[in-house]
Structures are given as structure tokens and as C-alpha cells.
Amino acid sequence: MQVGSRSLLSGNEAIARGAVEAGVLVAVGYPGTPSTEILESIADRVDMEVRWSPNEKVALDVALGASLGGARALVTMKHVGLNVASDTYMTAAYTGVGAGLVIVVADDPGMHSSQNEQDTRAYARMGGVPLLEPSDASEAKEYTAIAFAISEEFDTPVLVRTTTRVSHNRGVVEVGSRADRPATGFVRDPAKYVMIPGHARARRPVLLERLERLTDYVEASPLTIESGDDAGFGVVTSGIAHHYVREVLPDARILKLGMSYPLPMNRIRAFSESVDRLFVVEELDPHVEDAILAAGIAVEGGTFFSRVGELSPDAVRGGFATAGILPAQPSAEAAPPTVARPPVLCPGCSHAPPFLVLKRIGAVVTGDIGCYTLAALEPLAAMDTCVAMGSSIGMAVGLAASGGAEGPVVATIGDSTFLHGGIPGLADAVYSQANITVLILDNGTVAMTGGQEHPGTGVTLQGSDTTPVNLMALCEALGVRDVRVVDPYDLAATYTALESAIAHVGPSVVITNRPCVEAPTKIRDRPFQVISEACTACQGCMTLGCPSIVWSEETYEGRRKVVIDPVTCTGCTVCVQLCPPLAIVAVPDREDAASV
Amino acid sequence: MSSSSRGLLLAGVGGQGVVLASMIVADALLRAGHDVKQSEVHGMAQRGGSVFSHIRWGSKVDSPLVPLGSAEVLAAFEWAEALRWVPYVQEGGAVVADIRTIVPPGACSDRRSWSTRYPDVDAQVFDCRHLKTRLIDATATATELGNVRAANSVILGSLAAFLDIDLLHWEAAIEGLVPRGTEEVNLAAFRAGREVADARLPRLASAPEGFSGPHEIDIRHEWCKGCDICSRVCPEYCLELDVDGKLAVVNAKACTGCRLCELLCPDFAIEIHPPPAPVVLGAPVLSR
């Protein structure tokens, strides 16, 4: 990236660039949509430590440690990651920092790839930590640099909150040069860094006094921008919502908040007094609206703009139409009927066959966060719960304890999720001798977010070899007496392994050992094809839900025969094992198939 | 009242390369001197789901999202996705659609009618709001040029025909962003795409005739020894061994009559009977 150039960067790349230019030495995080690309985009820097941690709490611990060592530190995560890191987060607000510490949290309104749509701004208020909200890629870079300056000036961690539309939105960014900020060294200060009650009691007033100074800062800060000259009404807004408001009301009076905690309430009050009607447009929770109401200022917002899902230019226009500010829009023409296209497990996915077995066995399956959560959907429909990273194991222990499960209780969890939050759950299963089976779906990557390394893969984010965590030895060391590894592409072996593990009294673990077919490398073997004359259209292969297998135009006894797409088939052989008439055979030659 | 920013949409299926294609469009617009914003969603959408990308350009762009009914062009890499996103196109706007069909597995699940829920490839769906259409077979064009993987550049070429961006900027963007070593074939595909004609649409397929009702599963319990083969192979999960090892029909309505259980039973303990001929509703009832 050339210094001085104008580049098209995503919000995530711009945050990373901002950290580079701010002289950050340690950047750390756990993958999570929509935050993942921040660290990936700077993985090749030789002048920075860029690392994946096993989870967000460890990541924040690492960043806080680096900050106390005098190195500027960046930590990245998705919104739910801050729940995991919140224990450190809440007390880091007490300790303050050494060098600048910035926590980037990417929210996911609309839940494009998340289990909830919590609003990180609530954490800012809870922790007493300042929060900046960039609205596009250009601001993402600029605000990251400002966040580091605030962090050092006020001796506090700083939150930078993005949303999916900021993180995954490319815009024009001017590239600057990197500041040289060598680590200043760790300075012992037990009263500040050792949070025993006696010390922490003294730090709480420091936190509150700091918030007062931050409030003064934001009142005078150019982060709060007033624009427009239309009389009558005014709009307070922040983040991506600001652009939607400008889109539908280009001349409106707008007070844009670059820092949405603490709030510049004097600026807001003065703004409100200059307009007849005051609106707030914000995504998700009424964070700003409630604060304005609490300050005794009349404001409208939640009545017109939904708290559910993402805003959009159309939603904002609709809200202002309901409020009588804009004329009502005729509703857009409906789309012609088309087919639903939910995400599915990939062709050749090693997660699919174990879930097919679990469905046959009739297990009650507690699930977890990862690609395999898609096994909850038809036709596998073999997952009964999915709540939070690592929850599957503890929930299985509880389900077994309740005696309320009809069928064996099986927890399913991916390799990275197990290392992230599953290990304490397994310790509990051993401690309580719970009669559950834990199925660790080890595909050697964080697949859901695009194939990142983790402590079990033996490779770091920056590409060096390292010691991988041995999952089998770890489970045995925790005290699980029945641990077995199975090839998930072998349906009979998977069936036997799971049935035997379930029969074991006490906790048991089954680990599958096929790598992800898509990441970090695409795995393709000789594809398979259906001999149409032999296919009895029984639909046995269709129970797998493989996207490479679809109905053909031919039928047998009124049922649709099937056909395999030779381009997407990975040759995993699982459908072959599901075909009683032996109608599925390997394509003789890969080249022939690819040119069909 | 409306913004001066212009907009277009790219849409396709996860894995088709929509994101790279939209980066090329955004880069070409930037090179042409515009402010540009491009927004997409990844994550779950990578897993074979619907992928879309909004691109806005102008002197100063605010919203990265294109408001409904205001895109100048929609370029769809797959037929069903063209239909899904067409409401974003403005009156008199253009639709560039690849007639390629990618049937999702979920569309093959109605085992009564046996019809997929995939929409017909029929140009008439765009006969509204004075839309201009270019319905192409990009895969065929790219294959003729010697590299099926350049199909996306054919679509970009076809899209470029509806936009006022200098060829120079397109070519620089393509050269800068496609994988090394594929520049030439992608540029050739792009140029071919500018000229490409509408493809001949496939004939509409008719749904096959299926059985309308569930088959009857007839178990001879005195012959069944509870070996469990049938319940493990039934694709519709109709059969189960109960706690006493006795076979039971647990989902009678789902039987499609594939007869795997009947054919694989070592003890000839199962017979499958087709449903009676479907009753024609509204037919006159004969009175005695």
C-alpha cells in the first residue's frame, strides 16, 4: 500500500491500516464475522506481532499485557466476543493502560452471521469506557488513530464499534505513513495494576473522574459534527445510520456523533433548542435516545425506526415518512417468485456424515457455533440447541442431569470452538461424571469465518510453525476414559464409534479427523457420478443434504432420480455409502468430467 | 430530495466470485474519478447462500446501500438470483443475467409433487417497468474463449455496456485484481462480454408425475427378528425399533414407496403397497 495513495479499502482493512499508522506493535483477536479481516489484512507485516488467540478474553489479556509493556495494542472481535472478554474488559477500565489499547468490536445488526444482535454501546456505558463509531472506511482509519490518542491521553482502553455495513463496506481511504513508536517498557505500579479490593476501591473514583474529563473532551471535540441548514427539525445520528439519513434527507440539520459514549449532551441540548422537532436515528438499541430523554430533552426515534435488524436508506425513508417529514413512498414492486437459498454445508463437508449418524441414532444433540450449526436445517435436522461458543458441553451435562432427554445426549463442537470455550465444559463433564458423549468435529481450521489458524493447527496467523494442541491427549488428560478418533467419511466406522461412545458409562469423546474441504486449501478428489439406469430414486443420498446432488429430469416409479455435479463434487464417497443399488461410481477421468 | 449518487447491484451464489467482481467494478469507478462505496455481506453467505454486493458512485457517496428501485443495472451471475434482486432496479434500468441455474439442495425436498421450487428460465419475468435485459450464457462464451473460469469477466463486459466508464479504466481494474496469469483471458472475456448477444433460453421443463399419497408399510411382525437394517436405511425415517426391539412405523405419511426396506429385509417381513389411485376432487359422486 503506497503512502499518499487513495485506495479502496474495506472498513476492516482501514482499521488495520489505522493501527499500522498509529505504530501498533501487537494486534490480536479471535476470528468472528464481521471482524475477521482486520488482523488478516496485516498478517504479513514484519514490524508487528499479529496473532490469533484461542478466545477473545485471552486476546484482550494479551493486548492489555502488551499495553502495560508500553506497546500500542489492538484487539479485535465480534460483538459476542466482548461477552467472553468482558471479565478483563470491566477491570481494564480500572487499571487503565500503559501504551494505547484499542478494542475493536464489530456488531452484526440483522444477524447476517451471528446468534444475537446485541449492541456494544451498552458495554461502553457499563464499563465506563469511551466508544467511537466510524461510519465508513475513511473514518474507520481516522478514528482508530484518534482512539489510540484518547487511550493514552485519558489512560483508558477505548472501544471502536463498527457494524457489518462499516466493516464490509469498501470506500476511498488515503494511506498515511507508519509512526515509529517503540515499546516504552513496563513500569511496576501495583496500586494501578494489581486489582485487589484495596487498590480497586481507589481506582473506581479515578474511572468516574476520567469519564467527566472525557465528557468535556467530547463536548469540544471535532468528532461531533453539525451539518445542514433545513429549518424545522434536526437529527442526531451516528455510524452507518448517519449516511442513510444524509441519503434520504440531504439538506437536513444533522448532529453526527463520532463518539457515542460518553455523549456530548450540552451539544445535543443546544442542537435540540435550535429545532422544532428532534429525531434520533440509531441502529439496534435506543442508546442515544434514552440518554437524551434522561437529560430531559424531548426526542423522537424508536417509534419510527425499528430496533430489529439493520437500518437501510429505505427503512430510514419509511421512518421519516411515518413521522410526516417525507412524503409516503409507493411500495416497491415485489420480486418475482424465486427459490430460497439458505446457506448449506459445502459439498464434501466432513461435518455432514456424523450428523446423519446422530439423526439415525436418535440422539439429543446440543450444538455449538460453527459451520456445523447448519446441520440443524433440513434434511439433516440433527441439532437441538445452539447458544454460545462452547455452550454445547455444559448444556449436555445439564440435559443429562435433568433426566429429561429421550435418547442419548451428545454435544457437538468444532476444534476451534472447543479450544475457545469447550475445555471447561469437558472438565465439568469429567468432574460430574456426566453420561454424555462429546463429538469434536476437528477439521483443522476456523472454517465458519473463512479458514483461520488456531492453537490446534500448528501454524500461526503470520505463517510460522508452532506446537499444535493435541486434542486427544488433552481430553485424556482432563480425565475422559473413552476417547476415540474416527474418519467421518467412513459412515459405518462413524456409526460404530458413536454407538460405542454412547454406550460408555460416563463422559466419552469422539474426534473426527477430516480437514475442511475449502480452507485453508481446497481439497478435490476424483468426482462421482450417478449411473442413471441403476438409480432407483430412493433418496438415500439426498438425506445427506450435499449441494452437489440434485434431482435430475428422469424419474423411477414417479420419484426423481438424482444427478451429481462433477465440478463441485469433492469425491468424499459418503453418498456412495448411502446408495443401496450401487448407482454412484467414480467418474473415470477428472479432466473429462471438468469439461462436461 | 433524492441523492445524486448512482447505484448498481451484483448478485450470485456463494463461491461464484461476486465479491471479486464487485471489487473490479468499484476499482474501475474509482479510476474514472468517482467517489465509490461498495458493500457486501460475507460470513454465512459463503456457504452456498445468496451473495449480493451494492455499489454506489458519484461526486460524494453517502449510503453504501442502493435504495430499492434505484439501481441502474443489476448483474446476476445466476438465474434465480436475478429474480431475487430485480426490485432494486429502477424504471427503465438494465438487468444482465446469466441464464445459468444453480438449484439449491433445499429445492429438491417436496417428495409429494416431486417438483423443484426453482423458477423457470423465462424472459417474461422481466417484462415490466421498461427494463432492458441482456440474458446471456457466460459459461458458454468463456468456454469458447478457452477458460470457463473467465465467465465472470463476460458478465462484467456485458454490464459495462450499460455504464459510461472508459474502457481504459475497466482494463486497468481487471488487470490489477484478477489472479496473476489470468489477465489475458479475463480481458478477452470482458471484451467478448461487451458484444455478447442474448442466449437462447432452454425449453421449460415439465414436472414429472409422482404419486400423490404415501405408500402403506405392511410389517409381518411374526417374521421380524429386529435386525434394524430397514430402519437404518429408510431415507424418510419412517421406521424405528422400539425399546423391546419391535419394529414400528413412526412416520407413515412420509413413505415414498422406494421399497428399500422391503428389498433389504432378510426375512421378507415388510411389504410396501402403493396408495390407491388419487381421488379426483370435484368428480361427480355416483349415487346408488
Please answer yes or no on whether B258 and A551 come within 8 Å at the CB atom.
Answer: no
Here the ipTM equals 0.92
In this model, does residue A394 exceed pLDDT 50?
yes
Classified by CATH at the fold level, domain A528-594 comes out as Alpha-Beta Plaits (3.30.70)
Q: Grade residue B113 by pLDDT with cuts at 50, 70 and 90.
A: confident
Q: Enumerate the residues of chain B whose CB falls inside 8 A of the CB of residue A168.
A: 39-42
Q: What is the pLDDT of residue B287?
A: 39
Q: What is the pLDDT of residue B15?
A: 83
Q: Enumerate the residues of chain A whose CB falls inside 8 A of the CB of residue B44.
A: 33, 112-113, 343
Please answer yes or no on whether B260 and A448 come within 8 Å at the CB atom.
Answer: no
Percent of chain A clearing pLDDT 70 (strictly above): 99
Length of chain A: 596
In this structure, the answer to whether residues B119 and B254 fall within a common structural domain is no
Task: Report the DSSP pairing between strands A158-163 and A169-174.
Answer: unpaired
Contact A191, A199 (CB under 8 A): yes
Q: What is the pLDDT of residue B180?
A: 94
Please answer yes or no on whether B237 and A332 come within 8 Å at the CB atom.
Answer: no
Domain boundary among B161, B195, B229: B195
Angle at A425 between CA A423 and CA A430, to 5 degrees: 95
Q: Provide the CA A114 distance to its chain's centre, in angstroms.
A: 6
266-295 in A: which are within 8 Å (CB) of B?
A: none
How far B214 CA lies from chain A's nearest CA (Å)?
A: 12
Q: What is the pLDDT of residue B205?
A: 64
- CATH code, B122: 3.40.920.10
Contacts A–B by Cβ distance under 8 A: 226
- Sequence-distant (6+) residues with CB within 8 A of A454 are A52, A54, A415, A416, A419, A445, A446
Domain boundaries, chain A: 6-220, 224-322, 352-512, 528-594
Q: Which residue is associated with the grid cell 480497586?
A: A200
- Sequence-distant (6+) residues with CB within 8 A of A26 are A48, A49, A51, A62, A63, A66, A71, A72, A73, A74
In this structure, the answer to whether residues B140 and B243 fall within a common structural domain is no
Percent of chain B clearing pLDDT 90 (strictly above): 72
User: Among A138, A147, A144, which residue's Cα sits nearest to residue A166?
Assistant: A138
Q: Enumerate the residues of chain B whose CB falls inside 8 A of the CB of residue A136.
A: 37, 64
Task: Report d(CA A480, CA A471) in Å as an integer.
Answer: 12
In this structure, the answer to whether residues B11 and B142 fall within a common structural domain is yes
Q: Grade residue B44 by pLDDT with cuts at 50, 70 and 90.
A: low
Q: Quick one: A6-220 is in which CATH superfamily?
A: Thiamin diphosphate (ThDP)-binding fold, Pyr/PP domains (3.40.50.970)
Q: What is the pLDDT of residue B53?
A: 96
Q: What is the pLDDT of residue A334?
A: 84
Residue B279 lies in a domain: no
Q: Which residues of B51-70 are buried (b: 16+ CB within 10 A; e: fewer)?
A: bbbbbbbbeebbbbbbbbbb
In this structure, the answer to whether residues B187 and B223 fall within a common structural domain is no
Number of domains into which chain B is organized? 2
Q: What is the pLDDT of residue B288?
A: 37
In this model, does residue A414 exceed pLDDT 60?
yes
pLDDT digits (tens, 9 = 90+) for B156-171: 999 999 999 999 999 9
Cα Rg, chain A, nearest whole Å:
27
Interface with A, mutate which of B55, B61, B62 (most A CBs under 10 A): B62
In this structure, the answer to whether residues B183 and B234 fall within a common structural domain is no
Q: Grade residue B278 by pLDDT with cuts at 50, 70 and 90.
A: low
Interface with B, mutate which of A6, A78, A170, A244 (most B CBs under 10 A): A170
Region A12-17 average pLDDT: 98
Q: Which residues pair with A159 in a beta bridge?
A: A103, A131
In this structure, the answer to whether residues B248 and B110 fall within a common structural domain is no
- CATH code, B226: 3.30.70.20
Nearest CA in chain A to B91: A333
Contact B133, B196 (CB under 8 A): no
Fold agreement (A6-220, A352-512): yes
| pTM for the full predicted model | 0.95
In this model, does residue A591 exceed pLDDT 60?
no
Contact A122, A290 (CB under 8 A): no
Residue B200 lies in a domain: no
In this structure, which CATH number among 2.40.33.10, 3.40.50.920, 3.40.50.140, 3.40.50.261 belongs to the domain A224-322?
3.40.50.920
Q: What is the pLDDT of residue B69?
A: 94
How far B82 CA lies from chain A's nearest CA (Å)?
A: 9
Q: How many CA atoms lie within 13 A of A200 on its CB side?
A: 9
Q: Grade residue A496 by pLDDT with cuts at 50, 70 and 90.
A: very high
Task: Report d(CA B19, CA B27) in Å as an integer.
Answer: 12
User: Among A413, A470, A422, which residue's Cα sits nearest to residue A441?
Assistant: A413
Q: Of the ranges A251-255, A444-448, A561-565, A586-590, which one carries the lowest mean pLDDT score?
A: A586-590
Task: Report d(CA B91, CA B111) in Å as an integer.
Answer: 40
In this structure, the answer to whether residues B137 and B74 fall within a common structural domain is yes
In this structure, the answer to whether residues B88 and B135 fall within a common structural domain is yes
pLDDT digits (tens, 9 = 90+) for A235-264: 999 999 999 999 999 999 999 999 999 999
Residue B250 lies in a domain: yes
Interface with A, mutate which of B1, B5, B39 (most A CBs under 10 A): B39
Residue B260 lies in a domain: yes
Residue B237 lies in a domain: yes
Please answer yes or no on whether A379 and B118 come within 8 Å at the CB atom.
Answer: no
Residue B287 lies in a domain: no
Would you state the CATH architecture of domain A352-512? Answer: 3-Layer(aba) Sandwich (3.40)
Residue B278 lies in a domain: no
Region A127-140 average pLDDT: 98
Number of neighbours of residue A370 by Cβ within 10 angstroms: 25
Please answer yes or no on whether A246 and B63 come within 8 Å at the CB atom.
Answer: yes
In this structure, the answer to whether residues B186 and B227 fall within a common structural domain is no
pLDDT digits (tens, 9 = 90+) for A550-568: 999 899 988 999 999 998 9
Task: Report d(CA A170, CA A186) in Å as an integer.
Answer: 38
Region B18-31 average pLDDT: 96
Q: What's the domain range around B260?
A: 216-273
Residue B221 lies in a domain: yes
Contact B125, A335 (CB under 8 A): no
Q: Which residue is associated with the grid cell 468490536?
A: A105
In this model, does residue A276 exceed pLDDT 80?
yes
Task: Report d(CA B52, CA B39) in Å as an integer.
Answer: 9
Q: Which of A169, A537, A539 sits opposite B64 (nearest CB)?
A: A169
In this structure, the answer to whether residues B253 and B148 fall within a common structural domain is no
Please answer yes or no on whether A450 and B87 come within 8 Å at the CB atom.
Answer: no
Task: Report d(CA A246, CA A241) in Å as an integer.
Answer: 9
Number of neighbours of residue A595 by Cβ within 10 angstroms: 11
Contact B17, B93 (CB under 8 A): no
Please answer yes or no on whether A169 and B37 come within 8 Å at the CB atom.
Answer: yes
Please answer yes or no on whether B69 and A332 come within 8 Å at the CB atom.
Answer: yes
- pLDDT, chain B, mean: 89
